[in-house]
Structure 1
């Protein structure tokens, strides 16, 4: 059953790569003529900025155009609900796009847009998260009063998570491609060929953007692209759980572990320091990794190298949880234990990171003083 669409997938995936790539490259080419395509003037001064030159944030346009095109390639049994799902993306996409082109959208407005898209998807599709892999919660999650809030919380968190990791060239799109491929593998193992098709098409859409974004960072996902990517992946995971009862929810979480963990620990970190939950900082793993590369290996004048190199350094760590999810797709307890192990390691890394970076910086300063 997994090989139900072998020829169509190859042709359709290639078409979607070309569409996404062409739209993103077109934006890069046209930005010299249209100022609103170039990026926001205040981005380089932002505390979380990881780049040295102004760059377009409109990669989400390429993502959405290719996703819209994928409606025509969807398997017939799910073509109509898939089209409704793409429609549900529009609220979060449009608000994110407004932010990307320079209209100030507060965190509250962006959060409301993501929640609105989640509720619209639930209304149009008539489904929500069917189970969470937690015995007591699973007894009541089928009731809308429990299931809908949990679904909105998860989809909103993952959508925000991809926005948080969209900080260095290629990291968010690489993470999303890996997640999409992992979901397709799990769907294949669970005999759900329609999702194999959809997830592979999403990976193709993301690959087209990735080819323009990495390694030179010619265009970014922006809020619209990051929110759309995380939202689609979270709902693909829910669709697998709805249609494949043997799949563990924890295995699906493993496919999306990096944005999930980054979001959870960012919230924890900010609450612990009495900072606003939506406040920006430079304590994400990718930011600390890039600073460590600059201090220890490359020097601060080599950010154009440190930025994409950070994605390569983190790639094995990004891939490990989804691989575990594929292997443990129908083993709920083992998948849960894997989440605990990866979470513990991530938490230790996040806590140790700032101290390591400070020590490296002091050591670098000391060496400079000695040399002088």
Structure 2
């Protein structure tokens, strides 16, 4: 049995086993997500389900670290991921219980990113499609922090329907895993399989009708780990599409966040102010049920993931055609569902 498959199974089983206890703990301690006019659920649902995702990932990594030598040689990368991930989970727990101000939460995300960077996990260069590498030098640290915080927030912002963030994160993780497998990077395959197993195990309790929400504890942790994995693995590879692969892999939440920023800017409201113009809100407004909207977004996320994998197998010209096609699909889809219409989307 490969270590990657073993990591997936261990994480999946752990999360499936402990989630009922997490649900009871959330109810007992008052970690409840009450419905309001912006949310789509109509009864109180326990949150902090991200604790189960976190536990599944960390316990799996601990088991494999002590039972195999596969993770040796990557101690800095692994320690940075675990410490930074633990810090972001702490921020998420506090937020799930007290609703931290957006700026305070952002500072926590930056601090977690700094922890990861301090272990030399950073984007040192980006590849130039026309030849050579572009070394970031003194820009390396701010670019890496921006990348980590940005991806952390994209998963956090897309967590609006039962099973959406968990499913999209699972699809993104599978994509990164397959790319790492192509590159024969056993370390990235293993840790990615662990986060995929954890997210999929949680999805069993989070798909509509959800028994528990992951909360910011889970959404920020998933975003942080996927951002870190993309830096350690795909982004550092010396290929012309190295940076494009993780962007496409997490394309759905990145697009949703980008659309939200543009929409709020055009509407003259603060970027951090929530609204009901996210992709999932628009699909619900068009008459889709929660399950239909989520499944449709799974399909689109899978399409972007497959496109990312395809880019690693084709030449530059074919890659350009693929990217152009994706861009046209995005523009058409955004206009079709009225994602940029501010008139009816900015109310909360």
User: What is the TM-score of this pair, normalised by structure 2?
Assistant: 0.87
Question: Tell me, what secondary structure is at the counterpart of 1:53?
Answer: coil
Which of 262, 270, 273 aligns to 1:268? It is 262
Provide closer, same or farther for how the CA distance between residues 350 and 282 of structure 1 changes in structure 2, counting only shifts above 3 A: farther
The residue that corresponds to 2:337 in the other structure is: 353
Q: Deviations over 1:337-360 (max 9, x none)?
A: 6445434433443344248999xx
The residue that corresponds to 1:234 in the other structure is: 227
Structure 2, unmatched stretches of 5+, are 343-348
CA–CA distance in structure 1, aligned partners of residues 269 and 341 of structure 2: 21
The residue that corresponds to 1:251 in the other structure is: 245
Which of 107, 117, 120 aligns to 1:122? It is 117
CA shift for structure 1 position 250: 0.7
CA shift for structure 1 position 30: 4.5
CA shift for structure 1 position 65: 1.1
Which of 218, 231, 247 aligns to 1:225? It is 218
Which of 47, 53, 76 aligns to 1:63? It is 53
CA–CA distance in structure 2, aligned partners of residues 241 and 130 of structure 1: 13
CA shift for structure 1 position 136: 9.6
CA shift for structure 1 position 173: 0.9
Provide closer, same or farther for how the CA distance between residues 161 and 356 of structure 1 changes in structure 2, counting only shifts above 3 A: closer
Higher helix share: 1
CA shift for structure 1 position 196: 1.2
Question: Tell me, what secondary structure is at the counterpart of 1:132?
Answer: strand
The residue that corresponds to 1:85 in the other structure is: 81
CA shift for structure 1 position 220: 1.2
Structure 1, unmatched stretches of 5+, are 1-5, 295-305, 359-372
* 2:162/2:206 contact within 8 Å kept: yes
* 1:131/1:249 contact within 8 Å kept: no
CA shift for structure 1 position 108: 0.6
Compare CA radii of gyration and give the structure with the larger one.
1
Provide closer, same or farther for how the CA distance between residues 340 and 235 of structure 1 changes in structure 2, counting only shifts above 3 A: farther
* 2:8/2:193 contact within 8 Å kept: yes
* 1:57/1:219 contact within 8 Å kept: yes
CA–CA distance in structure 2, aligned partners of residues 286 and 141 of structure 1: 38
Provide closer, same or farther for how the CA distance between residues 148 and 339 of structure 1 changes in structure 2, counting only shifts above 3 A: farther
Question: Tell me, what secondary structure is at the counterpart of 2:274?
Answer: coil
* 1:251/1:335 contact within 8 Å kept: no
**Equivalences, count:** 334
* 1:71/1:79 contact within 8 Å kept: no
Question: Tell me, what secondary structure is at the counterpart of 1:270?
Answer: helix
Summarize the alignment of residues 156-171 of structure 1 with structure 2, pairs less than 5 Å apart. Answer: 156-171=149-164
- The CA RMSD over aligned residues, in Å, is 2.6
